[in-house]
Amino acid sequence: MIRLAHQDDLEAILEIYNQAVRAQFETADTKEVEIKDRLQWFRDHMVNTYPIFVNEQNQQITGWVSLSPYRKGRKALRFTAEISYYVHNKYKRQGIGSKLIQHAIQKARILKFKNLFAIVLDENKPSIHVLKKLGFQQWGHMPNIADFDGVECGHVYYGLRL
């Protein structure tokens, strides 16, 4: 079941995110984050503009997706949102990521966004595959801008016009 995230979900959201940090090449963060580091981030995601959704199965959060502002405060970009999504390691390859992204796309249309984009490390082939499957197209590439202890990779921008 996909539902709006509550502040009580933040611990589970961060556990999933920190799995991506530990895996490398799934996020550009190189150190795990704590609740105190993300509390304001969570509060900034208001239901009416930039929601966070979680997928819950048997009372466990199995994944999450968020919509975030692009270049916050710049009015000409108000109809564009960044989508971020992560799935718990135990639940990968079960279609949860696709369902979360599809749900976020539907909500983004309701919220009157015109464009969604995801910024993905170019080494994150599974994420790129899901985005392409759901109709996202490559809008840009910034080569070799991320450095993981000497291993470089790029950022790829995948966009979807709603």
pLDDT tens digits along 120-158: 999 999 999 999 999 999 999 999 999 999 999 999 999
Average pLDDT value over all residues in the chain: 95
CATH number of 2-161: 3.40.630.30
For residue 72, the model assigns a pLDDT of: 87
Residue 109 has pLDDT above 90, yes or no: yes
Closest CA to 156 of 137, 148, 147: 137
Q: In angstroms, rounded to a whole number, what is the distance separating the alpha carbons of residues 84 and 8?
A: 19
Mean pLDDT of all residues in 88-109:
97
For residue 106, the model assigns a pLDDT of: 98
For residue 155, the model assigns a pLDDT of: 96
Residue 45 has pLDDT above 90, yes or no: no
Dig out the tokens for 74 from the structure: 């710049």
The one-letter amino acid code at 136 reads F
Residues 58-98: pLDDT tens digits?
999 999 999 999 998 899 999 999 999 999 999 999 999 99
Contact of 116 with 135, CB cutoff 8 Å: no
Contact of 33 with 82, CB cutoff 8 Å: no
The one-letter amino acid code at 44 reads D
Tell me the Cα Rg of the chain.
15
For residue 47, the model assigns a pLDDT of: 76
Q: In angstroms, rounded to a whole number, what is the distance separating the alpha carbons of residues 25 and 47?
A: 29
Higher pLDDT, 99 or 45: 99
Q: Where are the beta strands (DSSP E) in 16-136?
A: 52-57, 60-69, 80-87, 115-121
Percent of the chain's residues with pLDDT above 70: 100
Domain boundaries, the chain: 2-161
Closest CA to 6 of 71, 64, 83, 49: 64
The one-letter amino acid code at 56 reads E
